[in-house]
Amino acid sequence: MKKGLILALVLAIVAGGSLWAEQPKAPEPLMGPGDLALSVGLGYGFFWGAIDVSGGAEFILGKFVIADILPLTYGAAVKASLYSWTGGFGSDYVDTYLGGGAFATLHLGFKDLII
């Protein structure tokens, strides 16, 4: 009976101590609200001589955390691309396209996992 009472008392002290222990915080995302990401791309198609030049920008608007373990950030982005293609094999045929778009983004990333 005494052993059971001592064991219960020890377990109560150990379990009660965990109530005051520091709780882990949610992981931080790689990019936070207010961050701006810029991108530039350059491509070349060897077979037809296609050239692609692109650029874009993304602005992170906010973040939220699901169940204190999944940090998500959302933002808005724009991208533009210039693509030029020649007929190849000595042809004078040339196509050139200019395109662009705006879109919403959603990122899942853990800054704490980066070594």
**Confidence at 42, pLDDT banded by 50, 70, 90:** very high
Mean pLDDT, the chain, rounded, equals 80
Closest CA to 63 of 24, 102, 109, 103: 109
pLDDT at 20 over 60: no
pLDDT at 81: 93
pLDDT at 45: 77
pLDDT at 110 over 80: no
Q: What 3-state class would DSSP assign to 9?
A: helix
What are the boundaries of each domain within the chain? Answer: 26-113
C-beta of residue 84 within 8 angstroms of C-beta of residue 99: no
**Confidence at 98, pLDDT banded by 50, 70, 90:** very high
